[in-house]
Structure 1
């Protein structure tokens, strides 16, 4: 970790964009130790086995035929930052540079903010299913990442078996692959709302409806993944979830502030709200009814329906 090099990279932000993405990536990596990728014998095979077995179990539970990504990577933290700075740049590419009297100062501030985001997430993300939103290469349209140093560090902090914890992460990320496999329209649906929301922000407007639609869609994505995990994972995991939630809530005030600023509290709310919605639907009907959300964008529950699943059930069963 080299904080001086990180600050220097941010201070040297240049170019014509609102964010100097190369400087943000360099600064984030300078502020973040990469962690070890010295795999134990058989560890790579164990990751691959977890992914294959998760695919089989999730296919069986969901009834959805889908493939896991061709790109399955065991990464260190710097690898994750490099992969995700490209995603952030694609998603935020419509953000117009500041046209005020001090564009260089605004660019430096924006680059510093992105550096903090990438560095914090790079130290905390465990696994990631990446649908590569807004990517130009249709033949390579999704990827699956495991950030090995973070998985091992979290397992040690939580005092849980590292192999079991890794397997749980694999199952969770594969459930997301199942969702995008069940709903080929989902990537486009999310992309359109992200582009619209960011375009409005770049013009100084906040489109509440667009972000509410995006939040509702992501709540469905996270909630359905939790539903599949409940039925597909071949071991109890309530203890893992409880310990991970306690770890998040028990962190120091600075990390809690970062989580609020980065919207990670919102993500936790999406997990919980989405899980309640699908549990209610399955209790009232079955897994097949819950899977109707992937029939098309019009089947996604509205914000009101997420809190009143009976309204959604009556609408889709007409």
Structure 2
């Protein structure tokens, strides 16, 4: 970790865009210890076995037809930053394209690059695993990917005082549930992209498309909630202690980390988990898992913002 090199990369931000992405990536890596990916004997196969078992377990309980991405990577933190810079750039490009030109573009670029550096560095130290559907990719043929950030998984398992192998397996099941969702609903990526682009475009023009962001939040709540539901049914080991300890760790972070989590919307993600899980638990308890999977039939089957809090309204609508 070299904070001087990180600051120098941010100060040297250049180009014509609002963010110098190459400098942001360089600075984020300079500020972040990469961690080790010196795998123990059999560890690579253990990751692969976890993914295969998760695929079989999720297929069995959900009845969904899907496969896992061909790209499954065991990464260090620098690898994760490199893999996600392009995604951040694609998502932010809509905002950049509509942004007003600053009176002092060089200063604005440096500030923006520094902000993105802090974000990438913080996430790089905290993300455990990631299913990347490559939203807003240049071509629809780009491969989806599955990442595991090994040093973060090992650090979290140690901090939580849980078995590292069981914790790694739990993370694998969680990410494979997301692969199941996007695999079962080929339309989902386009739906999320459209709502994201609509919301960002109006935001960058000084207005706020409330419905676009409500729809995006509702869709992501379904994605996170359904993943939690499938994990509870598919995971082949004890998990309540893992979930409880991870939640306690999030809540027990220091004020600076809590601030970062709020700024990055990670508190919102936790709310999406809980709200979505409550929705699906009601559907399964009153119907079954097959009924819950109706959400992937098409965008019109997604619950609205109001239906998420009143799942009986959603059931009444889709079962007509």
Structure 1 length as normaliser, TM-score? Answer: 0.98
- Aligned counterparts, 1:1-318, within 5 A: 1-95=1-95, 96=97, 97-318=99-320
Greater shift, 122-131 or 103-112, is seen at 103-112
Query: 1:69 & 1:156 partners in 2: Cα distance?
Result: 29
Query: 1:58 & 1:238 partners in 2: Cα distance?
Result: 18
Superposition deviation, residue 205 in structure 1: 2.1
**CA distance 1:98–1:20, shift in 2 (3 Å):** farther
Query: 2:231 & 2:16 partners in 1: Cα distance?
Result: 45
Unaligned runs of 5+ in 2: none
8 A contact 2:9–2:23 mirrored in 1: yes
Superposition deviation, residue 109 in structure 1: 1.3
Superposition deviation, residue 204 in structure 1: 2.1
8 A contact 1:37–1:149 mirrored in 2: yes
8 A contact 1:20–1:107 mirrored in 2: yes
Query: 1:100 & 1:140 partners in 2: Cα distance?
Result: 34
For the aligned residue pairs, the C-alpha RMSD in angstroms reads 0.9
Query: 2:38 & 2:122 partners in 1: Cα distance?
Result: 23
8 A contact 1:98–1:106 mirrored in 2: no
Secondary structure at the aligned position of 2:94 is classed as coil
Query: 1:253 & 1:94 partners in 2: Cα distance?
Result: 32
Superposition deviation, residue 191 in structure 1: 0.6
Counting matched residue pairs gives 318
Superposition deviation, residue 5 in structure 1: 1.1
Greater shift, 199-208 or 180-189, is seen at 199-208
Superposition deviation, residue 183 in structure 1: 0.4
Unaligned runs of 5+ in 1: none
Query: 2:203 & 2:113 partners in 1: Cα distance?
Result: 17
Query: 2:44 & 2:281 partners in 1: Cα distance?
Result: 35
Secondary structure at the aligned position of 2:7 is classed as helix
8 A contact 2:71–2:143 mirrored in 1: no
